[in-house]
Each structure stands twice: as structure tokens, then as C-alpha cells.
Amino acid sequence: MFPYATHSWLIINDKGKLTVNTSSKLDLSMVTDAVWTDYDNDGWPDLLVAREWNSVVLLKNMNGKELVPQLIPELENQRGIWYSIVAGDFNKDGYEDYIVGNLGENNRFNASDKYPMNLYAIDLDGDGTIDPLITGYWNDQNGNMKEYPLNYLDELVSQSSFFNKKFKDYASFSVATINDLLDENILKKLQFKLDINTTSSYILWNEKGKFRWEKLPESLQVSPIKKMIVHDFNGDGYPDVLVAGNDYTYDVSTGYYDANKGIVLLNKGKNKKEGESSFEVLSPAQSGILLQGMVESLLYFKGDTSLVVTGFNRAKVSVYGHAEKAK
């Protein structure tokens, strides 16, 4: 039940026999994606996990015995609606870097350290069911930033009778802040609260086991990044990235996120100049690949003619051929 999440499990493959045990049980909240990566080059693959309404978390491999979540401030300080994560040594320093897909910046929300988006897990009407309440910050009538519910009144009424009893019309609801909705008695029912302080998608640079965030170019912030392929598409020895996404599952007042038509990030490699982005952004017209729709899967099949296969929600699969260049 959103925003609760059941435990994640690590399945052990012992010579073809799949097992789980108590050490395989992981409490990671709402997991959306993960990638195996030896982030510190100690010879043991670690697990980097993307989570919704949370931070990216690193599970360090303790010499093959267990995976232990690490509290790393650089990771904990960036909380988003992380959809996806991929790994690649983009600057060829011997350490894998990462690209982390988020909601993007083309939306009606404000999310920052000072003005986060909040998610209240609370049973408002006492019926035993969580009524998740999402809020954000906008200017009030006097130009002051105040916390308001994100959803409109009719959406909230359909979720819980609490709102129908509290607000008789849109006029009173339109100026109601979170303090008007949740008084001290209601807040006693609060089970937990989550927040995000960024909706941007990033490159996460791994500088010898230390992490540094860099926003992806503006053209990558137009829509959620849901799926990615890391591959050296032009044969120059540097990993490039194919980025796809879009999300049609949001409420009517938010609408479709559908501005990502498939973008190739071509690694500049040795040609990168100081202060420049590490990637050249290729539009569909430049790359020849058009991924229009809500992407749910993205795979690269290597062969004599390699294939990029894309699965869309409620649409046909697309297949593009890719001729590998000799290195």
C-alpha cells in the first residue's frame, strides 16, 4: 500500500539452486531500479539502488558475506522520485560513474531544500487505510511561500471522506494550507513522512569512491528518465548513453509527461573542454532513433547487426538496427 513497501530480497544462486535467507532480506523502501557496481574497486560488486520518494542508497558488499547499506551524505542529501540508474566509466578514470533518472524539471512543482515536496502517510478518516497526502510550496495571496496540497479537491474527495466533510466548496479549499488541513489531533495519526528536494536528473560522478552530482543538460530535464542503455555507439572507446522515458500515469491536473522522444548522449571523451558538459546531446533527427511514447523497457542486443529494442506502454515494440564501428 503506497507509500509503504514490502522488503526487498537478494536471491542466492548456489550452483543453480535459488535460495533466500534472513541476511537476504533488505528494508529499502520503494525501490525502482538498481545496478551492480564495484564503486570503490575493492574487487567486490556493490549494489546502487534508486528509490522513489527517497535517496539513492549504496549497499556495500562485505567480502561476499552480506550487503550493508551505507550512510553517505552526498547520496542522502539528494532525495527525488528516482526512476532509473545506470553505470559507466564516462571519464575513463577507472571508477564507474552513474546517471540517475528523475522526474525532470518540466513540471508544476517546486522542490528544493528550503521548499521540498512532502508526502504524508496518514489515515485521515480512521478507516484503516492510508490516505497519502502530497504537498508542495506555492505563493499565497501575499506572495509568501506556503505549503499546499498538490491534488485538487475532487481528487482528494474521491480518496477520503475527510476532505468532503472539511471543505464544502472550492473557494475555501483554494486557500487552505497544510496547517488548515492537518491540525495537531490529525497529525497524531501520521505514520511517517517522506520528502523530495530535487526533481532533476543527474550524472553522479564517482571520484575514487567519493560522489559528486552534476545536472544533466536542460534538454534531458523535459520528462522523466525511465530507461537507459550505456554503450559505445560511435566506437571511440568512451561509453555513450541512450535515454528514454515519459510517464502517462499522473493525475489529470498534471497531465502526460511525453516530451522525451529518445535522446543519445554522445561522450565527448578526450575532446571535452574544461567547463563543458561531458556529453553532446543528439536529438532524434541527429541520431536517427525516435522513441515516442511511454517507454517501459529498453534493451541492446549485440550481433552482426546490433539491435535497440524498445517496449512501450499500450503500443507496438520498436526495433532499430545499429552497425557497430570497428575500434
Dihedral angle over CA of 179, 191, 7, 111, nearest 10: 10
pLDDT of 327: 58
Q: State the CB neighbour count (10 A cutoff) for residue 173.
A: 20
Partners of 118 in the beta sheet?
135, 195
pLDDT of 326: 63
Grid coordinates belonging to 190 = 501520521
Output the CA angle 243-81-199, nearest 5 degrees: 75
Full DSSP string of 85-96: EEEE-TT-SSS-
Strand 25-26, strand 31-37: pairing? unpaired
3-state secondary structure of 79: strand
pLDDT of 160: 93
Q: In what order do the strands lie in the sheet with 133-139?
A: 145-149, 133-139, 117-122, 190-196
Which helix or strand (DSSP H or E) is residue 163 part of? helix 161-166
Strand 8-9, strand 97-101: pairing? unpaired
User: Do the beta carbons of residue 97 and residue 203 sit within 8 Å?
Assistant: yes
What is the chain's pLDDT, residue by residue, as a tens digit (327 residues)?
A: 899 999 999 998 999 999 998 778 999 999 999 999 999 999 999 999 999 999 999 999 999 989 999 999 999 999 999 999 999 999 999 999 999 999 999 999 989 999 999 999 999 998 999 999 999 999 999 999 999 999 999 999 999 999 999 999 999 999 999 999 999 999 999 999 999 999 999 999 999 999 999 999 999 999 999 999 999 999 999 999 999 999 999 988 889 999 999 999 999 998 888 888 999 999 999 999 999 999 999 999 999 999 999 999 999 999 999 988 765
Secondary structure string (H, E, C) spanning 246-285: CECCCCCCCCCECCCCCEEEEECHHHCCCCCCCEEEECHH
User: Rounded to an integer, what distance in angstroms lies between the CA atom of residue 16 and that of residue 277?
Assistant: 44
Strand 31-37, strand 46-55: pairing? antiparallel
